A = this chain, B = another copy of it.
Amino acid sequence: MFEATKVGRSVSKQDFKEQQAQLRTDLLAAQRELKAAQVPVVVLISGIEAAGKGEVVNRLNEWLDTRGVQTFAFWDESDEERERPRYWRFWRALPGRGEMAILFGGWYQTPIEHRFRDHCGDAELDAELNRIVDFERMLIQDGTLIVKFWFHMSESDQKARLKELSRDDKSRWKMLPDKSKFSEQYAAFEEVAERVIMHTDRGVSPWYLIEAGNRRYRDLTVGKTLLHAMRSRLAAAGPADEQVSGIGSPELPVGEQARITLLDQLDLSLALERDPYKAELKRLQNEINELAWRAYSQKRSTVLVFEGVDAGGKGGAIRRITNAIDARLYRAIPVAAPSDEEKAHHYLWRFWRQIPRAGHITLYDRSWYGRVLVERVEGFATDAEWRRAYSEINRFEEQLVDSGVILLKFWLHISQDEQLKRFKDRENVPYKRYKITDEDWRNREKWPQYKEAINEMVVRTSTRHAAWTLVEGNDKPYARVKVLRTICAALTEALEGEQPPPAGYLPCGERRPQPAEGATAGKKGK
């Protein structure tokens, strides 16, 4: 989930200066309009330590008309607060219609801290998060605009920032745990944060994850995102409820280093020579067949999701798997336009239908992610529909994993040039011609929109229990081997552990032993 906050985006001084001027004007105008429209606005500022949350708050107060803005922190609890139900302090801080409140941490701070310090378990944390979801929904139904920011950075960036901070305050640096312990804590905190964000990232009150490594990028992104949220609220008729206006996604900072995405970071030059490829492919195919039988005997199901740009090589990768596995053990589901019966149901229904029995494998050639990709870009799903789909999908996948399914998701990526080469190739080779349609060419023109959708999809649905594996696809042999290797590693890890109970109904709340973290990872890089 946090991969996208570690890509190293930055904004130059010059770019910042230029973009700031317009942004300030726009923010003030939006603030005035929201005041006139009597909309209360809550801005939540959360994130890892040393991300500069205080600096952001100061910046917002610099940019906005402070007469309508109040800032609240909740770290020094008053006795008035201590002696009342704990949400009393938040109710006190809620802005009236037309006002704005910036909350440091807000209702998220204490649950995160308590879980991080092991003062409570996952079940208690989840219960609290459900209360938060209800609370936020209630405010939104009453007309409030809630904008939630999470500031994040890589471990090394955080360390550097902490060191920098310590120059002013030696005692703080001394309090940091030693190097090895710090890594543990960083990972543990990330795990808690992911659980919190995933659980509370809803269509009506989404989280915005902001890369905080570069101050100018961070502040500009916050400003532009806030502006977008304010304008969307203004464009929506009446209280937001489940509706989201259709004015698209925030316009992010401009500048060469400000627009890098996860996909840009893939090293598409990665390749494999023919001979080592053939050997490795053979080895992996043998291994995967054995693993498939072992999974069958252990009654563990596997779900493999293949998504990717057109001509990205999904079909080829899938065939390398299905060729290797006994046909009794798998089903490959090509996902095209839905049938009449499928159209008559919820969009997840047709994927639920194909969920494998215990011990079997389903390969989805395209999947439920169509909701947030083609349906989003082509406008087949409304704004509200695709926005709430992220949390619907996360909960769907969580159910699969909780019931013992081994779930892997692959994004096969190629460059625009490589796609053009493959399209032309398809047109020229007679037996490949059926694979290329006018639609493919039309989709190609929407490359930037698809890229945006893909990035948001990866950020919002790459979770600990169901991470995306991004596959560098320009070289087909490399891509196929990476896919097979990832599957073999995940199956090996999942099948090595204790044997979980058979799939099917579980007592309420009980969870199966989770596959070890690495099992569903893979991630980018080899």
A residues at B contact (CB < 8 Å) = 38, 40, 77, 80-88, 91-92, 94, 96-99, 110-111, 114-115, 119-121, 123-128, 130-131, 134, 138-139, 141-142, 144, 241-242, 299, 301, 341, 344-349, 352-353, 355-359, 388, 392, 395, 399-400, 402-403, 405, 502-510
16 A-B pairs with C-beta separation under 8 A: A82-B504, A84-B358, A85-B399, A86-B504, A86-B505, A91-B349, A91-B352, A94-B345, A96-B344, A119-B507, A120-B508, A120-B509, A120-B510, A127-B127, A127-B130, A241-B241
A-B contacts besides A38-B344, A82-B505, A91-B353, 12 pairs, CB < 8 Å: A83-B502, A84-B503, A85-B400, A85-B402, A85-B403, A91-B349, A92-B353, A110-B505, A114-B508, A123-B123, A134-B395, A141-B242
Q: Could you tell me if A357 and B83 are in contact, using CB atoms closer than 8 angstroms?
A: yes
CB <8 Å contact, A85 and B405: yes
Q: Which residue of B lies closest to A402 (CB)?
A: B85
- Interchain nearest-CB distance for A241 vs B (Å): 5
| Complex Cα–Cα for A357 and B355 (A) | 54
Among B352, B402, B508, the residue within 8 A (CB) of A115 is B508
**A83 CB contacts on chain B under 8 angstroms:** 299, 301, 357-359, 502-504
* Known contacts A91-B349, A503-B82, A503-B84; A124 and B123 CB within 8 A of each other: yes
How long is the Cα–Cα vector from A77 to B115 in the complex, in angstroms? 37
Q: List the B residue with the shortest CB-CB distance to A243.
A: B241
Bound form: Cα–Cα A502–B505 in Å: 41
Give the residue of B99, B124, B345, B399 whose beta carbon is less than 8 angstroms from that of A510: B124
A239 to B85, CA, bound (A): 37
Q: Which residue of B lies closest to A345 (CB)?
A: B96
Q: Is the CB of A84 within 8 A of B355?
A: yes
A395/B131 in contact, CB under 8 A = yes
**Cβ–Cβ < 8 Å partners of A353 in chain B:** 91-92
A241 to B510: give the CA distance in the assembly, Å.
Answer: 30
Residue from B97, B400, B508 within 8 A of A125 (CB atoms): B508
* Chain B hits for A120, CB < 8 A: 507-510
Q: Is the interface of A mostly helix, strand, loop or mixed?
A: loop
CB distance from A78 to the nearest CB of B (A): 10
Q: Lowest 4 A-B CB distances belong to which pairs? A: A124-B509, A96-B344, A82-B504, A83-B358
Shortest Cβ distance from A74 into chain B, in angstroms? 9
Instruction: Say yes or no: B508 contacts A403, CB within 8 Å.
Output: no
> How close is A322's CB to chain B, nearest CB, in angstroms?
21
Docked CA distance A115–B346 (Å): 30
Chain B positions within 8 Å of A84 at CB level = 301, 355-358, 403, 503-504
- Contact present for B509 and A128 (CB under 8 Å): yes
A80 engages B357 (CB within 8 Å): yes
Are A346 and B138 in contact, with the CB atoms below 8 A?
Answer: yes
**Residue from A124, A299, A341 whose CB has the most chain B CB atoms within 10 Å:** A124
Nearest-Cβ distance from residue A110 to partner chain B, whole angstroms? 6
Let me know if B504 and A77 touch, CB within 8 A: yes
Q: Kindly provide the distance from the CB of A204 to the nearest chain B CB, expressed in whole angstroms.
A: 10
A94 contacts which of B124, B127, B346 (Cβ < 8 Å)?
Answer: B346
In the complex, are the beta carbons of B125 and A509 less than 8 A apart? yes
Tell me which of B80, B97, B392, B399 contacts A344 (CB under 8 A).
B97
Q: CA separation between A301 and B508, bound complex, in Å?
A: 35
Q: Does A98 contact B508, Cβ atoms closer than 8 Å?
A: no
Q: In the complex, how many angstroms separate the beta carbon of A344 from the nearest chain B beta carbon?
A: 3
Interface contact B504-A349, CB-CB below 8 Å? no
- Within the complex, what minimum Cβ distance (angstroms) separates A117 from chain B? 9
The residues of B that contact A357 with a CB separation of less than 8 Å are: 80, 83-84
Q: Is the CB of A88 within 8 A of B355?
A: yes
A114 CB contacts on chain B under 8 angstroms = 507-508
Within the assembled complex, what's the spacing in Å between the Cα atoms of A111 and B299? Answer: 25
Alpha-carbon distance A467/B85, docked complex (angstroms): 19
Query: Known contacts A77-B505, A98-B344; is A85 also within 8 Å of B124 by CB?
Result: no
Which residues does chain B contribute within 8 Å of A508, judged by CB atoms? 110-111, 114-115, 119-120, 124-125, 127-128
